[in-house]
């Protein structure tokens, strides 16, 4: 039977961070209730097209899923279990921000079948957290982390963010050592650099040439060399403590790689529920509309019987940007997504998937990047070197046909 990943988008948060460009916002209880009513209908109506799949992973993301009443989440979990063939050993993750989930809530999530928690620490320095516009402090993270363990979570990820305004290498090293000093240590660590995205308060601050070096009370962003050294330090420190890097920004202890995210990088089927959620099903990529009012209205039945739409029609109304991937597009995605992982892409899998040799399609690119020391080829893999990981965006762009 085919395998599936499920993503559920909870767009609500208490306050949007200064760097955040995700589809998230603060809403009152009435709007939240309307959203979850619509979300549950989307999940129920979509079950038919997923009947031929076994679900290997579920990821509840946001926003801040733990900022809503936990009963909403337990209802979603029950609906998924009742309507989808979720494997007994499926990885089921919920994103959590410190200060938004107490022990009681975490216990409810665990009892509902959620077995992986991803906690957004970002920094162990309270001043850095304030600069990011985060709502929590280090003490709240510590409480959340210990409560999660007491609630029964044995698979916990901690998010850390580097290259923050005013951050020195020593500050980043302190953050890494803090997380590595947790007891028990997290099973997974995501360590990535701050990216200034258009449409965020940080973009307005740092995109203004006049104040590029004096934003946020004279706290400039680290330069390129400093950011790269932070990157090297991350790999070195985490490696010494038994974490292996399996993707550009992700490190796992033992077998605790994130199965759901690997599904994206390996171009395997997944379906997304909620506003803005993306899906890839049977070679067709599409996304949901981003307007919450429109999303809710699509699942609201009118009084007149003649106006009532079928579930299939409602699903059609919320889906957009539908694209049946061409063979060329599939090859491109196979390469530039797969190269995010340290294991790279499989030569055999490319041959089995596309009926062609990888060197037949990408021979010139592979040779060129190998000569630059950015790529290496083994008996059955093509993967980026450490140097290639440094300029991964450049390397991946070379595989666009």
Q: Where do the structural domains in the chain lie, given as residue ranges? A: 2-265, 328-397
CATH class of 2-265: alpha beta
pLDDT score recorded for residue 218: 55
- 357 pLDDT higher than 90: yes
Do 60 and 68 form a contact (C-beta atoms < 8 A)?
A: no
Do 159 and 118 form a contact (C-beta atoms < 8 A)?
A: yes
pLDDT score recorded for residue 220: 87
Exposed e or buried b per residue across 67-103, where buried means at least 16 C-beta atoms within 10 angstroms of its C-beta: bbebebbbebbebbeebbebeeebbbbbbbbbbbbee
- 186 pLDDT higher than 80: yes
- 212 pLDDT higher than 60: no
Share of the chain above pLDDT 70, in %: 95
pLDDT averaged over the chain? 94
**CATH, range 328-397:** 1.10.10.920
pLDDT score recorded for residue 303: 42
pTM: 0.94
Separation of alpha carbons 131 and 164, rounded Å: 8
- 366 pLDDT higher than 90: yes
| pLDDT grade for 308, boundaries at 50, 70 and 90 | low
Separation of alpha carbons 68 and 65, rounded Å: 6
pLDDT score recorded for residue 49: 95
| pLDDT grade for 216, boundaries at 50, 70 and 90 | low
| φ, ψ at 141 (rounded to 5°) | -65, -45
- 154 pLDDT higher than 80: yes
Kindly state the tokens that stand for 273.
């529920």
- Per-residue pLDDT, averaged over 313-327, amounts to 95
Cβ-in-10-Å burial (0-12, 13-18, 19+) of 353 comes to middle
């Amino acid at each position: 039977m085919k395998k599936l990943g499920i993503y559920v988008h909870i767009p609500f948060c208490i306050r949007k961070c200064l760097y955040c460009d995700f589809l998230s916002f603060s809403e009152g209880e009435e709007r939240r209730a309307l959203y979850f009513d619509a979300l549950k209908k989307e999940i129920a109506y979509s079950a038919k097209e997923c009947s031929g799949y076994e679900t290997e992973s579920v990821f509840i993301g946001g926003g801040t899923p733990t900022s809503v009443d936990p009963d909403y989440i337990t209802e979603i979990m029950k609906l998924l279990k009742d309507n989808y063939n979720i494997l007994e050993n499926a990885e089921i993750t919920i994103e959590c921000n410190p200060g938004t989930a107490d022990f009681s809530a975490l216990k409810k999530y665990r009892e509902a079948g959620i077995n992986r928690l991803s906690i957004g620490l970002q920094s162990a320095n309270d001043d850095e957290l304030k600069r990011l516009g985060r709502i929590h402090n280090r003490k709240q993270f510590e409480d959340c982390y210990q409560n999660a363990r007491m609630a029964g979570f044995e698979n916990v990820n901690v998010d850390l963010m580097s290259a923050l305004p005013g951050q020195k290498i020593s500050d980043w090293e302190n953050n890494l050592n803090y997380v590595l000093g947790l007891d028990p240590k997290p099973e997974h660590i995501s360590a990535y650099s701050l990216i200034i995205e258009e449409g965020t308060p940080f973009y307005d601050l740092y995109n203004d040439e006049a104040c590029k070096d004096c934003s946020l009370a004279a706290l400039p962003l680290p330069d390129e060399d400093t950011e790269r050294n932070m990157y090297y330090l991350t790999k070195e420190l985490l490696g010494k403590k038994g974490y292996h890097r399996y993707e550009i920004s992700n490190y796992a202890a033992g077998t605790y790689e994130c199965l759901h995210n690997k599904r994206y990088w390996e171009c395997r089927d997944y379906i997304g529920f909620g506003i803005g959620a993306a899906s890839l099903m049977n070679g067709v990529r599409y996304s949901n509309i981003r307007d919450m009012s429109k999303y809710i209205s699509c699942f609201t039945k009118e009084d007149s019987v003649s106006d009532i739409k079928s579930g299939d029609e409602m699903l059609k109304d919320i889906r957009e940007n539908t694209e049946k991937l061409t063979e060329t597009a599939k090859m491109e995605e196979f390469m530039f997504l797969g190269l995010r992982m340290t294991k790279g892409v499989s030569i055999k899998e490319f041959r089995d998937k596309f009926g062609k040799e990888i060197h037949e399609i990408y021979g010139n690119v592979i040779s060129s990047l190998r000569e630059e020391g950015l790529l290496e080829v083994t008996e059955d893999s093509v993967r980026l070197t450490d140097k290639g990981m440094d300029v991964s965006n450049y390397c991946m762009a070379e595989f666009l046909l």
